[in-house]
């Protein structure tokens, strides 16, 4: 199994794209759950960043790499809304309930985008594996 906490995180000469991709898809699998918490999404986002850096060394997977970047961006968006909501609740009075509700709506929208990117990445994996079998 790929260990992203290893001190040799930047050394992937022996890791091929398929191995890295499989580990990545396993890591983001929990993002498809309905009950995932904001803290979990943030932790996974940090790992996605590391994977994104590792994917960048492989040539010919631009579409995959773009989707991973989009996933990371939308996870960042979600985190921003989550943090804003947390801070507002900390310093809030009753007059900002509408703003908190708006943030919750945006968090749900971002969460939906995250799930769509996970589905898209899983779909791209299937297509890439199918094309490798044909060759």
pLDDT at 7: 45
Whether 11 is in a domain gets the answer: no
What was the pLDDT predicted at 35?
A: 75
pTM exceeds cut of 0.85: no
Residue range of the domain that includes 24? 19-134
Q: Is the confidence at residue 3, as pLDDT, over 70?
A: no
68: Cα separation from own chain's centroid: 7
- In a domain, residue 6? The reply is no
117: number of Cβ within 10 Å: 22
Measuring CA to CA, which residue among 71, 80, 16 is closest to residue 44? 71
Evaluate whether residue 10 is within a structural domain.
no
pLDDT tens digit sequence for 47-84 = 999 999 998 888 888 888 899 999 999 999 999 989 98
Is 36 inside a domain boundary? yes
Domain assignment present for 79: yes
pLDDT at 8: 46
**DSSP codes of every residue in the chain:** ---TTSTTTT--TT--HHHHHHHHHHHHGGGGSTT--HHHHHHHHHHHHHHHHHHTTSSS-HHHHHHHHHHHHHHHHHHHHHHHHHHHHHT--GGGHHHHHHHHHHHHHHHHHHHHHHHHHHHHHHHHHHHHHH-
- 134 vs 36 pLDDT, higher one: 36
Number of domains observed in the structure of the chain: 1
């Amino acid at each position: 199994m790929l260990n992203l906490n290893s001190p040799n995180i930047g050394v992937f000469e022996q890791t091929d794209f398929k191995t890295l991709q499989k580990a990545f898809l396993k890591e983001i699998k929990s993002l498809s759950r309905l009950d995932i918490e904001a803290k979990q999404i943030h932790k996974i986002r940090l790992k996605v960043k590391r994977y994104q850096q590792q994917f960048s060394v492989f040539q010919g997977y631009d579409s995959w790499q773009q989707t991973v970047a989009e996933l990371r961006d939308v996870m960042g968006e979600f985190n921003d809304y989550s943090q804003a909501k947390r801070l507002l609740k900390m310093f809030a009075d009753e007059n900002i309930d509408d703003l908190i509700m708006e943030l919750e709506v945006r968090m749900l929208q971002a969460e939906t985008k995250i799930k769509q990117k996970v589905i898209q990445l899983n779909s791209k994996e299937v297509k890439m594996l199918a094309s490798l079998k044909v060759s």
